[in-house]
Amino acid sequence: MLRDEITNEAYHADPSLGSRRARQLRGSCPLKVKHAMGQPTPSTPALLNGSMTHSAALEPDRVDIEFGCKPAEIDGNSTRTKAYKESFAEMEAAEPQKRWLPESDYNMCMEVAASARQHPLLLEMLYHPASKIEHTGFFDIEGTPCKVRPDLYNSETGMVLDLKTTVDASPEEFTYSVRKYGYLFQAAFYMTGLRAMGERPKQFVFLVVEKSAPYATACYTLDNADIEREVPRVLEACKIYGECLRTDVWPGYSDDIKTLDLGTYYAKNRLSISQLAEKFGVSRSYAHRIIKKHNVVGQKLGKKRLIDMVEFSTALRWENTKKEVA
């Protein structure tokens, strides 16, 4: 069951496995995850900006409670002066619950959130009676305690909406972000978790907003078949985390000498441009254009350039989708 009384701070403090830590387990090793668990979460400007943007877009009534605007000047005094520092210290002491952003960052977050709230999909979901905004769910997978906190989930339509901010919201660049930041794994984790709680999620959607004027927005979804292919990785991460919790053994990388069998890996997962063209029914020149336009990963093996087949397929699907929309 998704619950609305859990604060964001309580959610992050809970030791249950979330999607971010699960991605770390798959991409690193348990030893590094255990180390990170014992460290305080760094309060970087990027994280603070992201938190405020989410609040302003999804729960604007909470902005004035949780966040403050640090003025560029106070009574004509700049931030470097003693008078400014004393005045600002009084502001902080008067409202200790607030996190303060520089005026430029505060204004940027408000502009990004305002642009997001003008998107018809977000407007529809925010005011839909079946929508749950930043609700928390706890569940077990492979005997492991897990958690999710979707930005927005509509239990009637089955849509999960995740708000992302970015420098470039174009299809090409966001496709790259999906690969780089593990958003496919995130989607699979959330969909799996919601199902474990008895929900029926049907679609995972990203609402993407650029962080500079004119704060352009875009909406993207992932193919459900791609998400389902990622589910075994989610289950494996849950299994690893549960075993580490039970035994309190958090292994690092293997002590054994491992042979890096690059040839076998690339032969199994990568094809030449001619093979790609034949497999996907496109010309070699068109395959070249797709690879270049979408920065599809390639690797030299001897005289051949081998291309990641899954990434090429994703790029081709994005290109075809864009043509259909146009």
Same domain for 225 and 316?
Answer: no
The amino acid occupying position 50 is G
188, part of any domain: yes
Tell me the pLDDT tens digit for each residue of 112-143.
999 999 999 999 999 999 999 999 999 999 88
Averaged pLDDT for residues 178-206: 95
Q: Which two tokens stand for residue 272?
A: 């030449």
Where a domain ends, among 182, 205, 229? Answer: 229
- Report the pLDDT averaged over residues 78-96: 94
Closest-CA residue to 118 (of 35, 11, 29, 209): 209
Beta strands 67-70 and 73-74: pairing type? unpaired
Is residue 170 located within the same domain as residue 33? yes
Residues 188 and 312 in one domain: no
In a domain, 182, yes or no: yes
Residue after which a domain boundary falls, among 204, 229, 254: 229
Are 28 and 158 within one domain? yes
pTM of the model: 0.78
Q: How far apart are the first and last CA of the chain?
A: 40
Asked if residue 65 is part of any domain, the answer here is no
Co-location of 215 and 271 in the same domain: no
Q: What is the pLDDT of residues 6-40, one digit of tens each?
A: 988 899 889 999 999 999 998 889 999 999 888 87
pLDDT for residue 192 is more than 70: yes
Q: What range defines the domain where residue 286 resides?
A: 262-325
Instruction: Give the CATH number, domain containing residue 294.
Output: 1.10.10
pLDDT exceeds 80 at position 323: no
Answer for the pair 206, 221: CB distance below 8 angstroms, yes or no: yes
Structure-block tokens of residue 50:
């992201």
Q: How many domains does the chain have?
A: 2
What tokens appear for 25 in the block?
A: 């387990």
Q: Is residue 98 in some structural domain? A: no
Within-domain flag for 248: no
Does 225 reside within a domain?
A: yes
What is the domain-level CATH number for residue 23? 3.90.320.10
Mean pLDDT, range 219-232, rounded to an integer: 94
Higher pLDDT, 300 or 285: 285
- Tell whether 225 and 288 lie within a shared domain: no
In the structure, how many helices (H) and strands (E) does the chain have? Answer: 15, 15
Angle formed at CA 222 by CA 285 and CA 19, multiple of 5 degrees: 125
57: closest CA among 3, 126, 149?
126
210/279 same-domain check: no
pLDDT surpasses 70 at 326: no
225, 311: one domain:
no
| 55 falls within a domain | no
Do 156 and 203 belong to one domain?
Answer: yes
Q: Flag the least confident range among 124-128, 192-196, 319-323.
A: 319-323
Domain boundary among 229, 249, 279: 229
Same domain, 164 and 215: yes
For residue 89, count CB atoms less than 10 angstroms from its CB and return exposed for 0-12, middle for 13-18, buried for 19 or more.
exposed
pLDDT at position 301 over 80: no
Q: Under a CB-based contact definition with an 8 Å cutoff, are residues 54 and 162 in contact? A: no
Residues 153 and 222 in one domain: yes
Which of 88-97, 225-234, 236-245, 281-290 bottoms out in mean pLDDT, i.e. has the lowest?
Answer: 281-290
Tell which residue, 138, 114, 128, has the closest CA to residue 161.
Answer: 128
Cα separations in angstroms, 46 against 12, 50, 53, 101, 108: 17, 6, 10, 11, 12
